């Protein structure tokens, strides 16, 4: 987000990518700085074996359609462990709490992050989460 758009009070927009995997945990992943692939996942197109990713274009209205993989260079990357992702999906963990506890890692546009975290506290997030959880799981890519 540019300083001009921040000063104008516009809503930040951009590509948001969520990566789910057990990073820096116990076992083999603890000995490597590379994210361990989640069991049963396929390699992402054009990349080496890696954790599942989902992306969406963020607008003033919230997220656009969610796609598997990454559609380009994200403006904001969110990284969440597998167990924490299940807890968020099941409604046992709020994304903002995961962020404050250091369980949700981020890199990129902080203004966009605040918009995403604000949206997760609305009824729209609960509805979107229910819709996403109802979709049949499939390998990324």
Q: Where are the domains of the chain?
A: 3-20+51-127
pLDDT at site 75: 94
Residue among 75, 77, 95, 76 nearest 85 (CA): 95
pLDDT at site 103: 94
Strands (DSSP E) found in the chain = 14-20, 53-59, 62-63, 67-68, 76-80, 104-108
pLDDT at site 2: 44
- Greater confidence (38 vs 126) lies with 126
User: What is the DSSP-derived secondary structure letter of residue 129?
Assistant: H
The three-state secondary structure class of 77 is: strand
Tell me how long the chain is.
141
Q: Count of alpha carbons within 13 Å of 37, Cβ hemisphere only?
A: 12
pLDDT at site 27: 41
How far is 37 from 19, CA to CA, in rounded Å? 11
Write the burial class of residue 119 (CB in 10 Å: 0-12 exposed, 13-18 middle, 19+ buried).
Answer: middle
CATH class of the domain defined by 3-20+51-127: alpha beta
Mean pLDDT of 76-85: 92
pLDDT at site 9: 62
- Per residue in 81-112, pLDDT tens? 999 999 998 889 999 999 999 999 999 999 99
Residue among 35, 36, 55 nearest 141 (CA): 55
Mean pLDDT of 16-34: 60
pLDDT at site 23: 65
pLDDT at site 47: 44
pLDDT bracket for residue 36 (50, 70, 90): very low
How far is 67 from 47, CA to CA, in rounded Å? 16
pLDDT at site 136: 54
């Amino acid at each position: 987000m540019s300083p001009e758009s921040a000063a104008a009070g516009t809503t930040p927009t951009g590509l948001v990518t969520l990566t789910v995997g057990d990073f820096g945990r116990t076992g083999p992943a603890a000995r490597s700085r590379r994210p361990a692939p989640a069991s049963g996942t396929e390699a992402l197109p054009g990349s080496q074996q890696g954790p599942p990713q989902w992306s969406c274009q963020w607008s003033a209205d919230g997220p656009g359609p969610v796609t598997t993989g990454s559609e380009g260079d994200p403006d904001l990357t969110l990284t969440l462990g597998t167990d924490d992702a299940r807890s968020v999906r099941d409604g046992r963990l709020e994304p903002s709490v995961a962020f404050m506890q250091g369980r949700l890692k981020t890199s990129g546009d902080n203004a966009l992050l605040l918009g995403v975290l604000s949206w997760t506290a609305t009824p729209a997030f609960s509805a979107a989460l229910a819709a996403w959880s109802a979709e049949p799981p499939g390998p990324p890519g």
